[in-house]
Chains A and B, each alone.
Chain A
Amino acid sequence: GAVVSQHPSRVICKSGTSVKIECRSLDFQATTMFWYRQFPKQSLMLMATSNEGSKATYEQGVEKDKFLINHASLTLSTLTVTSAHPEDSSFYICSASKGRYEQYFGPGTRLTVT
Chain B
Amino acid sequence: GQQLNQSPQSMFIQEGEDVSMNCTSSSIFNTWLWYKQDPGEGPVLLIALYKAGELTSNGRLTAQFGITRKDSFLNISASIPSDVGIYFCAGQLRSSNTGKLIFGQGTTLQVKP
Binding site for B on A (CB under 8 A): 2, 4, 6, 31-32, 34, 42-44, 46, 49, 57, 91, 93, 95, 97, 101-108, 110
Contact = CB atoms under 8 A, between A and B. Distances in A.
A44 B103 contact: yes
Contacts, number: 58
A104 B45 contact: yes
Interface residues of B, number: 23
Interface of B: 30-31, 33, 35, 40-45, 48, 50, 88, 90, 92, 98-101, 103-106
A31 B22 CA distance: 30
A49 B103 contact: no
A110 B40 contact: yes
Contacts of A2: 45
A99 to B, nearest CB: 9
Given A43-B105, A44-B88, A102-B33, A97 B42 contact: no
A108 B40 contact: yes
Nearest to A45: B103
B99 A105 contact: no
Given A43-B106, A44-B88, A101 B99 contact: yes
A101 B41 contact: no
Nearest to A31: B99
Nearest to A109: B42
Nearest to B44: A105
A101 B92 contact: yes
A101 B42 contact: no
B48 A101 contact: yes
